[in-house]
Structure 1
Amino acid sequence: MIVQIIQIGHLHPLVVHLPIGILLLGFILEIVYRKKPSEASNEIILMVLLIGAFSAVISLGTGWLLGEDGGYDETLLFRHRWLAVAFTVLAIGLYLLKKATNALALKLYLPVYVIVLILIGITGHYGGSMTHGEDYLFTDTRIKKVVIEDVDKAQVYADIVQPIFDTKCVGCHNPSKIKGGLLMDTKENLLAGGDSGNILDSVSGNKASLFMQRLHLPLEDEDHMPPKGKVQPTAEELAL
């Protein structure tokens, strides 16, 4: 049962953008149809808002379960979760306000819609910070080819090994997203190990370290690192 719950949480990246797109569409329709309002246009917007609210609930639920996997910065996770709760509540409120006919509901409708759109941006920002790091907006994530001009002066770890970790591992093992309790953004953090201990130590009498064992597991194995779907290290990088 626990495994099934965690898998449901993994649907979050698939559904998280649905309420965003749907509610943005609803706002555009609201602006367009205000020039020529009709009962039909009102029904269309109501349907869009209903679907948007429903998808927001699904996104919130799957995201909450995904957060239970652990490995995320607690402060960022807390803010992201409760902003998502506020967003979902207001998304439901939007539908109810649109459906209501009293003067107060009509007066509150557009201001609440604007707040919902603002929450989309703020909540999404914290979600991005959790998965890509807090400085993701200003970080160049393009893979850079490391050029070593003088091999004799190169530092093996800093100039050769760490750049590989930066492109293949740090995305899931950084201060904002600490999968398995392991940080790989610096040599010191790598040596500190994670939930499984020091990943560079041999395990159960095997000559290979846990780190190397995970690298050489079949790609389909759930313990293979980097996970299937992520950029894999080349043969030359593995040989290092």
Structure 2
Amino acid sequence: MIELRTPAEIEQMRPVGRFVAETLATLREDTKVGTNLLAIDRRAHDMIRKAGAESCYIDYHPSFGASPFGKVICTSVNDAVLHGLPHDYDLRDGDLVTLDFAVSLNGWVADSAVSFVVGTPRDEDLALIDTTERALAAAIEAATVGNRTGDISAAIAAVAHAEGLSINTDFGGHGVGREMHGDPHIANNGRPGRGFPLKPGLVVAIEPWFLQTTDELVTDPDGWTLRSADGSRGAHSEHTIAITADGPIVLTDRTGL
């Protein structure tokens, strides 16, 4: 079921968007070569408790998950791109890290992700991250009243295809509100003019993610972490946005943090 939010409800969602943005900005700043993935999860957990928020991940157990997730943040490294389950691993120089974070605060949810490199970056990794960020920016620009979800999907795909990347459509954007995942699904590839019409009050998470040389995923033995089938690296950028008559509002904007 697709729900539309009133202007007052969108204002009520701003605090959770700001908290998610501030948490990701802090964790990115704190994450260095030698940082343990479990330490990132503990830090995020502390921030959630202090804010009086609730994790959307810790008890999350969809049909594709082997068990409840059990942690409060996804930490995907190098060839892992989605649903990275934090484990005992110290980050190494040049690792490409994705942090994906969603919480509920005062009954409202926001969801966002950021990819970055710790230590000495490889040019191809920076280029892949940049592609996801440009795809996200293009998608947000397309998220205007009168367009459709397919216009968002097509905007993402145009950026990816220009870089010669293939696209997996199994996992993509989604509605956000009282729960983390709702309708509509927003694939990272689609046809303009198709799909659900974008209306004022629609709140969605848009999340382009790409792999360097494949679009096929495999699942780790942990039952959660999704990696590229060929070992190539992945990157993922995500924001929660509200569609309004005056244009999209990026609720998880980290600009200036």
TM over 0.5: no
TM-score normalised according to structure 1 size: 0.30
Structure with bigger gyration radius: 1
- From the two aligned structures, give the one with the greater helix fraction: 1
TM-score normalised according to structure 2 size: 0.29
